[in-house]
Structure 1
Amino acid sequence: MHTQTPIESILSVIKLACINDVHEAIMLLKEICGGKSYFKNHISSKFLADHEAINNLGGTRELMKQTLYQELQSKKTRSLYV
């Protein structure tokens, strides 16, 4: 199993803090823009969609972990019913 170095741990904390700060900024922008910011084509909605993709997927490693987990879960569930 891969163990993190102290630098990688610090970078993970910085990444998490940045993601949270960006989310707060986008939500503040949505509040400032009002109701029109909830339309799909508004810039703040596009920012939020991009932010959620980065937050949820992160990068290739995180994407692969999520994909593998979902496949294992579906196979586990299927095996219970077969």
Structure 2
Amino acid sequence: MDHGISKECIETLTDRIKNDISGEVIYLILDQCLDYNHSEKIIEVLLERKYLNKCLEIRIAKEEKYGKKRRRKEIVESLKENLYSLRKKEKQT
């Protein structure tokens, strides 16, 4: 269950994702969501955004630059796995 401040932060992030016309906010949040578990609401909104593909291309280009090779499908699957994991944890509590 979310506390007031946590819920407010999640709402702010989801609003910024929904209103991100350049893809910059989505890219930053996506980058963090792949490294850490975040709220399922944030991940769901990311998966719905039309700029996600653009952000994935930026992420992939950045990883290729530093020698990491992950494909778009792997990144989306990683997001979906995080979402599934968060939902599973919530059901257990």
TM-score by length of 1: 0.39
Structure whose alpha-carbon radius of gyration is higher: 1
More helix by share: 1
Q: Which has the higher contact order (CA 8 A, sep 6+)?
A: 2
TM-score w.r.t. structure 2 length?
0.36
